[in-house]
Each structure stands twice: as structure tokens, then as C-alpha cells.
Amino acid sequence: MKARLKFLPAGLKVSAALVVIGVLLGLLVDGAAGAGGAVLGVALVAASFTVSSLVIAWADSVNPTLVFPVGMVTYILKITAIGFGCYALASTGWAGLPAFGVATMVTTVGWATAQAWWTWHAKILYVDA
């Protein structure tokens, strides 16, 4: 399964950098609530992508035909849980909500870019010899 997750460190490194930047910017703009919102936003995205990667790698290791159905079920459950969680968080009136939203968006783009960069530069054999 480890071979199926070689791309994972790229996204995690970007997330680590973004959490540092997010905390600093959050502190400057909204104080502790902004920093907390940034941490929560980055953590949510990093956890979401990591869980998906682990589940899909597991499904592929068991039987490649399971990748699509297991991936879709994971995605639906994950998005539903995130949606309910964000709805509950938004109803609290927490001051860190704007930083959370920005961090979530920036980290999603950052993770997707890191994974795409890794894929473009990876030496992946695609011809069976």
C-alpha cells in the first residue's frame, strides 16, 4: 500500500507550510480566532485528502475494481459530514469563520496543485514489459 501513497507527502508538506502562513496571517487579521480558524481549515482539508488517499489505496490493494465504489462512498460520507460540521460551526457565530473559509479554499487549491505537480514529475511506468 505504501507504493500507492507516494504522492501523499507532497500535499502534507504544502499543508504544513500553509498552516504556518495561515496562523501568522490569522493572528495579524483576526487575532487568536483567525489563527484558530486557519489551523482548523488547513487541518480539515489535509485530513480529508489523507483519508480519501488511504481508503482508495486500501481499496486498490484489495481489488482495483473497488476503487470507484469505495471512493464514491467515502466522498459522499466525507462531504456530508463536512457539510453538517460547517453548518454547525457557522451557526455558532465564531469569529474565526472567515479565516477558516479562506484557509479551506487555499489549502484545497494548494493540495491539488501539489498532487498535480508530483504526478507530472513522477517517474510512473505505464507500459507493461
State the average pLDDT for the chain: 94
Say if residue 128's pLDDT is above 70: no
Taken as a whole, the chain contains a residue count of 129
- Residue 99 and residue 29 in contact, taking contact as beta carbons nearer than 8 Å: yes
**pLDDT tens digits for 80-95?**
999 999 999 999 999 9
**pLDDT tens digits for 103-127?**
999 999 999 999 999 999 988 777 7
pTM of the predicted structure, to 2 decimals: 0.90
Angstrom distance (rounded) from CA 27 to CA 16: 17
For 5, the 3-state DSSP assignment is: helix
Angstrom distance (rounded) from CA 118 to CA 89: 33
In which residue are the cell numbers 467515502 written?
74
